[in-house]
Amino acid sequence: MSKLNAIVRKLAAVETLGSVSIVCTDKTGTLTQNRMTITHSYIDGQLKKMPHADDSDGDESEDKTLQSSEAEIMMMKTLVLCADATLEDGKETGDPTEIAGLAWAKRYGVHWKELVSLHERVGEKPFDSERKLMSTLNKDQNGYMVHTKGAVDNLLNSTTHVFMGNEVIPLTPELKDNYNQMVEQLSADALRVLGTAYKKTKEKIETDEMEKELVLLGLVGMIDPPRPEVRDAIDEAKAAGITPVMITGDHQQTAVAIGKELGINTSIEQSITGAEIDAMNQEELQNNINQYRVFARVSPAHKVKIVQAFQSQGYVVSMTGDGVNDAPSLKMADIGVAMGITGTDVSKGASEMILIDDNFSTIIRAVREGRIIYNNIRKSVLFLLSCNLGEVVAIFAAILLAWPVPLLPTQILWINLITDTLPAIALGIDPEEPGLMKKKPRPPEESIFAHGAIQRVVLGGLLIGALTLAAFYYGLYEHGYHMDARNVPENIMTYARTMAFVVLAGTQLFYSLAMRSANRSIFTIGLFSNPYLIGAMVAGFALQLMVISIPFLSRAFKVQMLTLSDWLLVIGLSVIPLFFSELFKLFRRDQ
């Protein structure tokens, strides 16, 4: 799984992955590329599309032909000064949203390094997931200036004026409605909308005073394109009975637009905001949770409620997170998935799995691999149980009926160590069974013996045991003895046990082919599609022949070489369990 960019921290999570039915994922960086580019601005009541914005790569050089108003220059300064990112000489560090602001300002001749050196930062109110705002206090020519950026709805609650037409005017309800409508318009085009504001002050102020009575500058809309491979991963998840759910701090319209593009949701009615979640009690959320596929404007506390609501409906939930505050929801989820690139140490410590590439597609690949691993472990366990039951049946029946013991302890030990082990290991790395990701998630309480597995184990074990006894009987019979005979010569008893020994090994080796699928014929899934299993069978038969033909080994295991006709007989008997298994699968498909 590490080769798939998924690091599993807790081994039990691999089994749980096969049962995941809800995948809750962040939007930015997981569903999208996390490469922000500013494409629109709304300043002085006018919407402006950035020239050549679609070709921007986040590091464009200054364009001397671009003109900007005073409001635009002030807005760019705010995006540069109210940021912790850097952009210099083609190298960028920090949050992609902030880098997009620095790149936009650079194109208009507003450079990060120059501006930061002229306006020293003396105070800061960091961004948090509740306020969704960030503010800094910087030195200015005549004192200090607060620069604030963040979610427009929260920013409007902290502003009293707006900079328009090169003057500061009161923010009237009409103007406020205009800005809200513009947010809806830009968000409907899948753009993340960011608001900027400022406040001048002659004295240094405390952080609690920074976000009061601000002057709104305007809005910028930025695009974060979806990852090209995510749509296919979402389609694959749906086909596998897994429901993808988007959880984001972005505006509802933005989240819904991205969700529609990726196939997560079909309408805005399938979305809900954090404020609407707060208006519900937990019982209401649990009763209505199946209606929603997009959760917008949510905080880490909301994530815990969402996980609990889905779990209350019987779903096995996977949750992604990267921040310190995401730790509770990662712990609460059945599979907590931390981001390997942007994730904090706290989030990684609280998770069961870490995505090295922060990619949603990796989650689905991990689910696929989890299903494969569980199925292969199940095949190996059922195979070993069938083989061991066959040995028990052969020995127990002989003792119960007072017959000679058909196998010696050393022979049983050889079969357990060699004949059983090699195919079991090969089954453990069996390729994906066709249609695996077309099945619904396995219920977590489902037994390993579900879907007729216990019947296959019992019938397979009984058949292996019966054929072993039949070979032993024939070995005695062809020399003129029967099971109840007394004083059977040692060489004849050795010959009969050799036949039982070979048949027991052969039936198990051939039966391993039947264990690759409960419903599909070995010829349907491909006789040679698992070369390791074929290699294990060849090695098993070669070792059996070696034990019989090499004198010192044959003496140690008390076996002897068989005649050609008896070799043909034991091989024929060995194929019978595989034959009946294939016949049963054919009958089952016809039903």
CATH number for the domain that contains residue 20: 3.40.50.1000
Over the stretch 204-216, which tens digit does the pLDDT of each residue have? 999 999 999 999 9
- Distances in Å between the Cα of 517 and the Cα atoms of 17, 362, 438, 504 are 21, 26, 15, 22
Strands 271-273, 294-296: parallel, antiparallel or unpaired by DSSP? parallel
What's residue 191's pLDDT?
A: 92
Coil, strand, or helix at residue 202?
coil
Q: Out of 26, 140, 326, 358, pick the active-site residue.
A: 26
Q: Provide the total of helices (H) and of strands (E) in the chain, helices listed first.
A: 22, 19
User: Ramachandran region of residue 558, left (φ > 0), alpha (ψ -120 to 50) or beta?
Assistant: left
- Spatial separation of the C-alpha atoms in residues 285 and 247, rounded to whole Å: 15
| Percent above pLDDT 90 for the chain | 76
Residue of 419 and 270 predicted with greater confidence: 270
| CA atoms within a 13 Å half-sphere pointing along the CA-CB vector of 502 | 32
Q: Length of the chain in residues, anyone?
A: 591
The pLDDT value recorded for residue 239 is 94
First to last CA, the chain: 37
Report the alpha-carbon distance of residue 329 to residue 211 in Å, rounded.
30
Query: Are 575 and 484 within one domain?
Result: yes
Q: Could you report the per-residue pLDDT of 296-332, keeping only the tens digit for each?
A: 999 889 999 999 999 999 999 999 998 888 999 999 9
Confidence of residue 91 (pLDDT cuts 50, 70, 90): confident
The reported pLDDT for the residue numbered 452 is 85
**138 contacts 122 by C-beta, under 8 angstroms:** yes
Is the model's pLDDT at 59 over the cut of 60? no
Q: Is residue 364 part of a domain?
A: no
pLDDT at 52: 55
**Which of 358, 393, 418 is the last residue in one of the domains?**
358
The Cα–Cα gap between 86 and 84 comes to 7
One domain, residues 412 and 470: yes
Structure tokens at 574: 């060995």
Question: Residue 458's domain spans which residues?
Answer: 371-590
Share of residues in the chain with pLDDT > 70 (%): 96
The DSSP element (H or E) to which 547 belongs, if any, is: helix 531-549
Which residue is listed with tokens 């400022």? 198
pLDDT of residue 63: 64
Q: Of 223, 245, 272, which one is at a domain's C-terminal end?
A: 223
Q: Is 137 helix (H, G, I), strand (E, B) or coil?
A: strand
Given pLDDT bands bounded at 50, 70 and 90, which one contains residue 61? low
Whether residue 287 sits in one domain with residue 266 = yes
Please give the biggest Cα pair distance in the chain. Answer: 117
CA-only gyration radius of the chain, Å? 35
pLDDT on residue 460: 94
pLDDT number for residue 64 = 56
DSSP assignment string, 265-323: -SSGGGEEEHHHHHTS-HHHHHHHGGG-SEEES--HHHHHHHHHHHHHTT--EEEEE-S
- pLDDT mean over 24-51: 89
- Residue 470 covered by a domain: yes
Same domain, 306 and 265: yes
Same domain, 17 and 47: no
26-40: burial string, b at 16+ Cβ within 10 Å, e else: bbbbbbbbbbbbbbb
Query: 474 and 514 share a domain?
Result: yes
Residue 365 lies in a domain: no
Do 314 and 387 sit in the same domain of this protein? no
Contact between 194 and 98 (Cβ < 8 Å): no
Whether residue 218 is found in the same domain as residue 231 = no
**Do 62 and 132 belong to one domain?**
yes
Residues 289 and 434 in one domain: no
Q: Is residue 115 part of a domain?
A: yes
Q: Find all residues with CB under 8 Å of 495, minimum gap 6, and list them.
A: 475, 479, 560, 562
- Residue 366 domain flag: no
Across all residues in the chain, what is the average pLDDT?
A: 91
What was the pLDDT predicted at 142?
A: 85
pLDDT bucket at 391, cuts 50 / 70 / 90: very high
Q: Is 331 exposed, middle or buried (0-12, 13-18, 19+ CB in 10 A)?
A: middle
For 443, 455, 588, the CA distances from 450, given in Å and listed in that order, are: 11, 10, 16
The stretch 261-289 carries a mean pLDDT of 94
Name 572's Cβ contacts closer than 8 Å, sequence gap at least 6: none
Cα gap 390→471, rounded to integer Å: 13
Q: List the CATH number of the domain containing 569.
A: 1.20.1110.10
- Residue 484 contacts residue 552 (beta carbons within 8 Å): no
Residue 571 lies in a domain: yes
Q: What integer pLDDT is reported at residue 441 of this predicted model?
A: 93
Burial of 444 (0-12, 13-18, 19+ CB in 10 A): middle
pLDDT of residue 88: 84
Residue 74 belongs to domain with CATH number: 3.40.1110.10
Distance CA 569, CA 364 (A): 49
- Of 178, 199, 223, the last residue of a domain is 223
Which amino acid, residue 19? S
Using an 8 Å Cβ cutoff, are 305 and 288 in contact? no
Residue 289's alpha-carbon distances to 62, 74, 182, 406, in angstroms, are: 49, 44, 30, 62
Claim to verify: residue 16 and residue 44 sit in the same structural domain: no
Q: What is the pLDDT of residue 589?
A: 57
Q: Which secondary structure element, helix H or strand E, spans residue 157, and what is its range?
A: none
- Average pLDDT (409-418) is 93
Give yes or no for a contact between 1 and 367, defined as CB atoms under 8 angstroms apart.
Answer: no
- DSSP assigned state of 2: G
* 363 domain-assigned: no
Please give the structure tokens belonging to residue 301. Answer: 């506390």
Q: Judge whether 509 lies within some domain.
A: yes
Q: How many separate domains does the chain show?
A: 3
Could you tell me if 193 and 183 are in contact, meaning their C-beta atoms sit under 8 angstroms apart? yes
Tokens representing 416 are 């357990």
| 140 catalytically annotated | no
Residues 480 and 577 in one domain: yes
Whether the Cβ atoms of residue 338 and residue 322 lie closer than 8 Å to each other: yes
Residue with token string 């995948």: 23
Residue 62 is predicted with a pLDDT of: 66
Tell me the C-alpha distance between 85 and 92, whole Å. 7
Q: Are 505 and 394 in contact (CB under 8 A)?
A: no
pLDDT mean over 417-432: 93
Give the separation between CA 244 and CA 320, rounded to whole angstroms: 12
